[in-house]
Amino acid sequence: MTDFKKILREAKLKVTPARLATLAALSKSSRPMTAEEIHVKVGKSGIDPVTIYRTLASFEAHTLVKRVDLHRDAVHFELADPHHHHIVCTSCGAMEDFDVCDVEAIGKKILRHSSNFKTIQEHSLELFGLCKKCMK
């Protein structure tokens, strides 16, 4: 079982029910989630949606979660680890993960040519296409 408490402590964040529940929700989900989806999953009663937003902001600042723009609905979040990306159907939202990612290499090349940037913290990479069903 993943030790969410340990994750929080290592991030120097206080261990609270809302944070544990948020980590659990994200961990159990196979897809990136919106704040609202997380709120529903942790039990609509109990934890205020505002807390979810603040929790996610805090997690993002501590690189526990990653913001994902799927070009649909609100912003989605997912656990930063393990690193992966998505291919999304622009029509129905179907999604697959992939972990092929040469961005590290690209990043290094960019940094070499950039006069203003010296480090890369993270990156986004999503593919958008049509799934089988929506192709016809």
Name the residues that contact a copy of itself, by CB under 8 A.
67, 69, 71, 87, 89-90, 94, 96, 98, 100-103, 106-107, 109-110, 113-132, 135
| Residue 134 in the binding site for DNA (CB under 7 A) | no
- Closest approach of DNA to the CB of residue 2, in Å: 16
Q: Amino acid identity of 71?
A: H
Q: Which does 53 bind (CB under 5 to 8 A by kind): DNA, a copy of itself, none?
A: DNA
- The H or E element containing residue 52 is helix 49-61
Which CB, 1 or 100, lies closer to a copy of itself? Answer: 100
For the CB of residue 110, give the shortest distance to a copy of itself in the complex, in Å. 5
Q: Measured in whole angstroms, how far is the alpha carbon of residue 86 from the centre of its chain? A: 11
Would you tell me how many other CB atoms lie within 10 Å of the CB of residue 7? 20
Q: Assess contact for 126 and 68: CB atoms under 8 A.
A: yes
> In angstroms, what is the minimal distance from the CB of 3 to a copy of itself?
28
The token duo for 116 is 């203003």
